[in-house]
Amino acid sequence: MDPLNAAERKSAYLSFLLFFIITVAIVVVTVFFGMKVPFKQNAQLQEKIAGFQNEKSFAENFATKLADTKGILDTVNKAGIQAELLDQKITDGIRNLSAMVDRDTTIVKKNYMDIVQNMTELQFAKKQLRDASGTNQNMTQYMQQIEALKSDLARAKAEADALRMQLVSLSQGR
């Protein structure tokens, strides 16, 4: 006892089965890509976070070494300090900062290089200031010596005039 519409039933069943398989495949593919894409984005975001953390760690390390070098640079022109020794420490600090910037692949490398250049220029300016202040001290000493010599010269002229007057009075008295 086969039904009269067995071919139509079979055709309808195969159509249902085909659409069911297509629908299940679409759902499975959607779920698969819905899971795969976030994992890929997560990996990319993790890489970006690691890059930012590296930059942050570099910036903190750079700032620490910069503060140390700046502290030495601030004390180099104080009285009673061995400026040549501190100057060498400053040069070493600037060299270390420059090496750090050269090794790193940070995005703002130019800014860091500008900071290092400014530190170098500041060190040079401080050295010029030390040299100029030494010149001012020498100039003051020389001015004091000139004044002392002028007063000695004036005293010597006065003595010479007094001796001439005595010589003239002695020569007239004869």
The pLDDT score that the predictor gives to residue 19 is: 97
115: helix, strand or coil: helix
Q: What is the DSSP letter of 150?
A: H
The pLDDT score that the predictor gives to residue 94 is: 93
Name residues whose C-beta falls within 8 Å of residue 101's C-beta, 6 or more positions apart in sequence.
62, 109, 112, 113, 116
Block means of pLDDT (10 residues each) for the chain, 174 residues, are: 85 96 95 82 91 89 93 82 86 92 81 92 88 72 88 91 84 74
Rg (CA), the chain: 46
State how far the Cα of 43 lies from the Cα of 141, in Å rounded to an integer: 72
The pLDDT score that the predictor gives to residue 95 is: 94
3: helix, strand or coil: coil
Residues 69-85 have pLDDT tens digits of 999 888 887 777 788 88
What residue type is 81 in one-letter code? I
Residues 11-45 have pLDDT tens digits of 999 999 999 999 999 999 998 888 887 888 888 99
